[in-house]
Chain A
Amino acid sequence: VYRRFAISCIFALCALPVAARTRPHYGGTLHVEIEGDPWQRPNGIARRLVFDGLTALDASGVAQSALATGWESDNADHRWQFHLRPGVYFHDGSPLTSTAVVQALNLDCPANCPWASVHAVGSTVVFSGDSPMPNLPALLAGDEFLIAHTLTTDGKMPSPNIGTGPFQLTSFNNGVLALAANEICWQGRPFTDAVEIRVHRAVHDQWLDLSIGRADVVEVPVEMVRQAQLQRLTVLVSPPALLLALQVTDSGALASPMLRAAIAASIDRRALANVIFQKQGEATASLLPQSLTGFAFLFPVDRDLNKAHELRGGLNAPSLTLSEDGDGAMRLAAQRIALNLKEAGFNAQEVNAGGAQRTDLMLRTIPLEGGEAGAVLESVSRSVDTAAIAADSSLPSVYKAERNFLDRHTLIPLVDLPRAYATGARVRDLGLDANGIPELASASVEDTP
């Protein structure tokens, strides 16, 4: 017995350092580098650190309580009432109130909102809609409905970017956004004392900084995931979080749905997924990922050039303009689509949209937000101005709503894409949320020797 006890003690002593190393460590600064804007909508990396939503999605995409502790609907989902969490304060010390939430939501969503009106009732926020809003809790977890402090105090506008999140903004100097831990965060203090986000940093420079320890978390574009893995970087890849889709105008030269269908049939989705996105994406003709619904295969992915010609019916389509909302792989994908369309008899010229000018075709990535199928469908469809809302949350209803939406051919799904990040050796417990965004608040860093 003693012998066994002694051996057990030896194993236990050996395991102690291991356990100590895996235990979250408070303190330290997490260095993050990104290529874009940390405040950009949607899914700017700083937004989730500074702001919270009324709800939040868990890893499986189910809406969980956040600033709202609970909610209930009545009148067949036409009215929703959310109860605010008490004792929550903005970074400037002002309390979170239902009025502040209503003000923030009205600023977040001036038009085309899932609801018709929102107002404060005591410590609750009440949403009313002209149509049922079955997906409202999941939608409120989305990036676009995060709550910022916008109420004026004594006639003064508060500083921008004040939220209730685990980090608060301290400075922005020399391209480095400095965030400090929010000691009074309702979720509890984050492990790290600070997060420094270096913005507008080229990917290769990010990787270089990661390799020399100047960065802890860097971006990995989808098309470079394999390259990053070959370089033995620690890469975190999310499930499908973005939908690469071609938004097609339904007016002007493409007013005919047949022409839009011809465009959909002429695109080689597999080439986009397998070559341009290096097999990290999944070719799809469905708005919702196969992993979410299981019926995505019902929408044919393969290119059918004959069908495209047939649908075009010999019509000479005028020159089309094509733009993309990114560069690198997005531009390459746009060029590939233009090449595919040329084979189908369309003359698509890639242009730099450069702002408000709307092009005939626009290649864009749409976040697959919402968690549940119906919410994701509504979120995605709402991004092209026309919401597709399933009658209920059942898959047949969602399929029907999606089929009806896709038959308009105003949004042609192409590839489901993940988000990916690479982490340094001293980062611990970093995961990606349901939208593929790093959960920096739950990560910790080891002290460097």
Chain B
Amino acid sequence: VSLRQRLLLLFSLTVAAAVAAVAWTVLVRIRHVFELRDQEETSLFVSQFQREFQHRSAEVAGAVDRLSTSERTRGMAFEIVQSGDASPYLTEAKTLAEDAQLDFLEIVGPDGNVVSSAQWPARFGYPEPAVTRAGEAAFLKREDLPDGSSPLGLFAVRPIRGAEPAVRLIGGKRLDQNFLGDLSVAPGMQLALYSERQSSADANKVPGAAQNSSASFEAMQLVGTNGDVPGGADHYKALIEAAVKTGQQMSGIVYLTARREDSLSATAIPLKNETGRVLAVLIVALSREGMVEAQQQIRAIAYGVASAGTLLAIVCSLWIAARVSRPIELLAHAAEEVASGNWDVRVPERGHDEVSVLARSFNHMTERLASQREQLVQSERVAAWRELARRLAHELKNPLFPLQLTVENLVRARALSTEEFDEVFRESTATLGMEIANLKTIIGRFSDFSKMPKPELERIDAKDVIERVRSLYEGAASREAKIDFEMEIAGQPMPMMADPELLHRALSNLVLNAMDAMPNGGKLTVSARPQGTNIEIRVADTGEGLTQEECERLFTPYYTTKQHGTGLGLAIVQSVVADHGGTIAVESRTGSGATFIITLPRSSA
């Protein structure tokens, strides 16, 4: 992964994380605000509904109040008390209820028995327990009807003014979908009423286990202002059951479908009788569609902004990464060029930041390196010429001195007799010829070094080359120099691509050098073994060894530690090994012999 990609990834992740954190914070805040608004709105509507409900309760009480003070009812009460005959007023309650727009109305005589009932006219003569609540505010009660039903009603009891003993009126309004429909509620508010299926006798039981055990939700008992409730009654089951069970007002969100906007903020208000028993549950529901849609819009905008921000951040990151990484990439490329030997490469220097300082330093470094290399080359060249001059002088001086003496002898011999001169002449020409031959030999060696051939590679086994060297030198070594020639060759094949003649020549040079290093005998060990992808060949002796300086200069051409060496042997070995793509090194300590290590690439099997 490149630096640019890393930078890009880093920048993008950083920006994306920052945007995500901001977006999450915004969304959480928005949700919180909307939930708060939802709760406030719902509680506002519930309060409004409760005020409306209380208002309707007051209306019922007011209607019964007005009836109880009317001339008509007062005259009726007077007649009932005076005559003791209530039968003429059998249908009076129905007429009064119609006039007062009440759903329920009963006239109860001084004996506590019903005189007239609008909702169940046949109930005359039966006692009505609710008369004991005369004067109280409106209350909830179930009213049994002839058809067996027991609808819920909002009732008030008032004594008819002026009658003694008291004749009372019990009037009420039915709490049903019509009642809900008549309530003035805020736009968007939906009302529903859940009535438990029970008779008035059941309703008057003390709440407790009986209520809890019998509290099974019946969807048919939940009606809205238009009959049905939005989404179906079953969605409200949990809320209603909780309100019935606890007797407390319960609020929650009712999801009508899987879509969040199809949900309602619903509040279940338990309606209880005087014993605390829950007779019905009012559902005040407010659609969350608008709020959810607004929330979703804000969320969509937040997501859009976050996405756009992230995209922009990626683009900016791309630009910044390119701007930051470009000089470094140029530097890296230039460093690779330098590593490959091209010291003339330069990187552009722009600006004054750290990267430009680095580029400037790099350029300065390459300039210095090139300069030092030139100096080194020149120094090496001078040293090589000096060494060459010294070696040439040394090599040529030895044959030249006898040549000079011989020529001087010849000049002095002209004074001798002819016989003596001839003898001297013959000896001198022989010496001259020998020395000239010696000079030719020296010149031929130099010529051979300069004319090292290119290797002709072929697939060989290193064992074969080593075995050939051993067979050539083992006998001479043991016979003439009393040297033990040992071989340590690995068992597995060691294939390689090499020129067998050049490799043989290189190994022979090393073996001869080792034999020369042990004039008093010793042990010469040639070993070969695979080493990873290479083949390692070692030639070790037990001679005097080399100093550190000798080791460092050992492969320099024309450098030798021998009295009559040309200094080209190891240089030729190094040249051959280098031409085969290998390396050569020496390990030695003074007095402990030396070991030459050749590493050559191994061919695949």
Contact = CB atoms under 8 A, between A and B. Distances in A.
28 contacts: A223-B90, A226-B88, A268-B125, A271-B124, A274-B87, A275-B86, A275-B87, A275-B90, A275-B124, A275-B125, A276-B90, A278-B87, A278-B88, A278-B90, A279-B87, A332-B121, A332-B122, A333-B122, A335-B121, A335-B146, A336-B124, A338-B146, A339-B122, A339-B123, A339-B126, A349-B148, A350-B146, A350-B147
Interface in B103-150: 120-126, 146-148
A335 B122 contact: yes
Interface string A343-354: 000000110000
A274 B125 CA distance: 12
Interface string B526-551: 00000000000000000000000000
Contacts of B122: 276, 332-333, 335-336, 338-339
A442 B121 CA distance: 40
Interface in A39-75: none
B36 to A, nearest CB: 54
Tell me the interface secondary structure of chain A in the complex.
Answer: helix
A336 B123 CA distance: 7
Contacts of B87: 274-275, 278-279
Nearest to A230: B88
Contacts of A349: 148
A336 B90 CA distance: 12
A338 B148 CA distance: 11
Interface residues of A, number: 17
A276 B121 CA distance: 9
Interface in A300-346: 332-333, 335-336, 338-339
Contacts of B120: 335
| 7 closest cross-chain pairs (CB), A and B | A335-B122, A336-B122, A275-B87, A335-B146, A332-B121, A339-B122, A275-B90
**Which size class do B's interface residues fall under?**
10 to 19
A339 B125 CA distance: 11
Contacts of A226: 88
Contacts of A350: 146-147
Contacts of A271: 124-125
Contacts of A275: 86-87, 90, 124-125
A226 B147 CA distance: 30
A335 B88 CA distance: 18
Nearest to A273: B87
Nearest to B90: A275
A278 B123 CA distance: 15
Interface in A261-277: 268, 271, 274-276
A275 B124 CA distance: 8
Nearest to A319: B148
Nearest to B125: A271
A328 to B, nearest CB: 10
A275 B114 CA distance: 12
B148 to A, nearest CB: 7
Contacts of A336: 122, 124
Given A268-B125, A278-B87, A339-B146, 4 more contacts: A271-B125, A274-B87, A335-B120, A338-B146
A271 B147 CA distance: 21
B553 to A, nearest CB: 130
Nearest to B120: A335
A333 B147 CA distance: 14
Contacts of A274: 87
Interface in B77-94: 86-88, 90
A261 to B, nearest CB: 23
Nearest to B121: A332
A140 B123 CA distance: 42
A339 B148 CA distance: 11
A44 to B, nearest CB: 28
Nearest to B146: A335
Nearest to B148: A349
A338 B121 CA distance: 12
A226 B90 CA distance: 12
Interface string A195-227: 000000000000000000000000000010010
Contacts of A332: 121-122
Contacts of B146: 335, 338-339, 350
Nearest to A276: B90
A339 B123 CA distance: 7
A336 B120 CA distance: 9
Contacts of A278: 87-88, 90
Task: Name which of B90, B120, B147 has the most chain A CB atoms within 10 A of its CB.
Answer: B90
Contacts of B125: 268, 271, 275
A11 B88 CA distance: 46
Interface string B147-166: 11000000000000000000
A125 B298 CA distance: 101
Nearest to A275: B87
A350 B148 CA distance: 10
Nearest to A350: B146
A139 B123 CA distance: 40
A350 B125 CA distance: 20
Nearest to A336: B122
B110 to A, nearest CB: 17
Contacts of B124: 271, 275, 336
